[in-house]
Amino acid sequence: MKRFVVFGLGNFGFHVAKTLYEDGNEVIALDKNRDMIQLVEPFSTEAVVMDFTDRKSLEPLGLDEVDAAVVSTGDDTNASILATLYLTEFGVKKILVKARDEDHAKVLKRVGATEVIFVESTMAVKVARSLSMTSILDMILLSEEYNIIEVAPPESFVGKTLKELNLRAKYQVHVIAIQELVPENFVLVPPADFVIKDSDLLIMIGKSEHIKKIKELS
């Protein structure tokens, strides 16, 4: 089970927290708006009314133990910058932050954001592609039933070939690519005799219920 913290519970932050929680993760949800906290309580492990621009108020939360943080503060760029800075100081290794524009993104990266999200532009690309594509990707972009995920291989996968694992038959998922970290290399549509290493990242496609079974093996 992974542990996440979500700063800001607007439309984006709320749905991130809710989805993470429904996927079986621990979720700490933070917002200064009490109404939003009450709304997210059924979909979080811990929901706290908090002004997270106050660093001391964050200290009891054990943020150094979270797997990743998501920061979404709407138009309050100062809050997102401070939250990102504090998360960096607490040692959070993966910090995803929603940015307003390119200048905001530059500042966020300088204070420690590992990934900057432009929600509007991302959705625009997805909508455009969903209109122009007639492939399997089209179905994925339009359906909540399917997921594409990047996951570290469970220990039982290491040292075996994709043919030996036979993931399609056993779990109804498909490995569509592999990101090799040592040495660094990206393998699109890996062959059946590809041997999985513990340093690889598997990029899979499948229904949410089947993807979840793979994640539970880790």
Per-residue pLDDT, 82: 97
Per-residue pLDDT, 133: 46
Longest distance between any two alpha carbons in the chain, whole Å? 54
Per-residue pLDDT, 147: 78
Report which of 77, 98, 203, 209 is spatially closest to residue 144, judged by C-alpha positions: 209
Task: Tally the residues of the chain.
Answer: 218
Average pLDDT, 10 consecutive residues per value, the chain (218 residues) = 93 89 92 95 96 93 94 92 97 93 94 87 59 49 69 89 94 91 85 91 86 79
Residue 123 tokens read as 């959705």
Report pTM: 0.63
Fold of 3-117: Rossmann fold (3.40.50)
Helix-helix angle 102-110:77-89, to 10 degrees: 20
Residue 72, class by beta-carbon neighbours within 10 Å (0-12 exposed, 13-18 middle, 19+ buried)?
buried
- What is the Cα–Cα distance from 89 to 36, expressed in whole angstroms? 27
Calculate ∠ Cα 7-13-18, nearest 5°.
Answer: 110
CATH 3.30.70.1450 residue ranges for the chain = 145-217
- What is the Cα–Cα distance from 195 to 106, expressed in whole angstroms? 39
- What is the Cα–Cα distance from 148 to 210, expressed in whole angstroms? 11
- What is the Cα–Cα distance from 71 to 91, expressed in whole angstroms? 15
CATH 3.40.50.720 residue ranges for the chain = 3-117
Phi, psi dihedrals of residue 141, rounded to the nearest 5°: -65, -25
Per-residue pLDDT, 92: 95
* 100 to 26, 106, 116, 121: CA distances (angstroms): 28, 11, 10, 11
- What is the Cα–Cα distance from 146 to 126, expressed in whole angstroms? 15
- What is the Cα–Cα distance from 209 to 98, expressed in whole angstroms? 28
As its CATH architecture, domain 145-217 has: 2-Layer Sandwich (3.30)
Per-residue pLDDT, 123: 60
Per-residue pLDDT, 45: 96
How many CB atoms sit inside 10 A of residue 36's CB? 19
